Structure 1
Amino acid sequence: MEFRFRAKHPATKRWMYFGIKNVPLWVEKDNVQQYTGVVDKKGNPIFDGDILSTDLSRPYLVVEFRNGAFMYQCHDSGKDYYDIMFPVEVEHDQDAFAEVIGNIFDNPELLNNES
C-alpha cells in the first residue's frame, strides 16, 4: 500500500493530494486524511473521513482510523458500531458494495441522512 494523503488548502479551499515525503508546510494535522489503500465500487480511492453509501441495508458508513486500523463507523437501524475495513476482493483492493458520496468536512449533512 502506498501512503497518500489529502488536505484542504486553507487559502483555496481545494483538496490537495500528496505523499509522505512531500507534505506541504501549510498542512495541519486536524485536516489531513489518509488513503486507506481501498477503492470503492467505481474505482475512487477511499480516505479516512469519507462517507460511503452501500448496497447493503446501511444508510451510510464513515471511514475512520481507530485502534490502529481503518474501520467503518456503521449506522444500522439506529445502532452505531465499528466494523473493520477489508476489501471485499482482497486481490483487487476494492470494496464492491461501497461508493464514496462525500466526506465529513465537505458534506456533514449526509451524516443526518438515515434513509
Structure 2
Amino acid sequence: MHELKFRFWDEVNKRFWCGGQEGESIGKETFQTYFKDGALKAVMYQPVSYGFKDVDDYEERELKQSQYTGRKDKNGREMYEGDIVNNEDNETAVIVYDSGSFILQYPDSPLDFDSLFDFQDKELEIIGNIYENPELLEVENG
C-alpha cells in the first residue's frame, strides 16, 4: 500500500496547499484540513465579525483535492491525481482516479485509457496539471 497524501488547489491564490501547512495564512485567510462525514476536507477560512465581538463566525472556502498515486515520474516527482504527463511515445494524458484505480486518460480519445500501474516510473514525465496548465490538454482540430 502506498503512502496516503493529498494536495489541495486554491483557485483564488493559484497555489497548492499540502498536509502539514495547516495554520499558514495568506492575507486574512488561513489553510485548514478536517474530517467531515468521514471525508477529508480542506478549506481556507477567515474570521467574520457582525459587530458583536471581534470574531462572530468564520467563512470557509472549500479547496479541490488531489490524491497521491504512490508513484513518481522519471524525474523523481510525486504524481498526483490531476497531473498531466507525457509517456515515452510523447502522448499526453491526465491522471484520473476512477473506480478505485488511477488511470491515464487521453484528451484526444476520452474513451481510451490505461492503468497508471501499466507504466514504469521512468516511462512517464509530469509536464503540468489540470489547474495550472489546462491548455496542455487542448486537442487540436485539424
TM category, shorter = 0.7 to 0.9
- The 5 Å alignment of 1:24-103 reads 25-26=42-43, 28=62, 31-58=64-91, 60-75=92-107, 78-80=108-110, 81-86=112-117, 88-89=119-120, 95-103=121-129
Which amino acid is the alignment partner of residue 6 of structure 2? F
Task: State the Cα deviation string for residues 27-61 of structure 1 (Å, max 9, x = none).
Answer: 636x1000000000000000000000121152x01
Counterpart residue number, 1:2: 3
Give the whole-Å Cα distance in 2 for the aligned partners of 1:33 and 1:69: 13
Please state whether the residue corresponding to 2:122 is helix, strand or coil: coil
Task: State the Cα deviation string for residues 1-50 of structure 1 (Å, max 9, x = none).
Answer: 1111111235533211117xx83651636x10000000000000000000
More strand by share: 2
CA contact (8 A) 1:52 1:62 kept: yes
Q: Which runs of 4+ in 1 moved over 3 A?
A: 9-12
The count of aligned residue pairs is: 103
Query: Larger relative CO (CA 8 A, sep 6+): 1 or 2?
Result: 1
The two structures have a TM-score, normalised by structure 1, of: 0.75
Counterpart residue number, 1:107: 133
Which amino acid is the alignment partner of residue 68 of structure 2? Y
Give the whole-Å Cα distance in 1 for the aligned partners of 2:124 and 2:15: 24
CA change 1:11–1:107 in 2 (3 A) is closer
The two structures have a TM-score, normalised by structure 2, of: 0.62
Give the whole-Å Cα distance in 2 for the aligned partners of 1:87 and 1:45: 17
For the pair shown, the structure with the greater C-alpha radius of gyration is 2
Which amino acid is the alignment partner of residue 40 of structure 1? D
How much identity, in percent, do the aligned residues show? 34
- Residue range with higher mean Cα deviation, 33-42 or 80-89: 80-89
Which amino acid is the alignment partner of residue 97 of structure 2? F
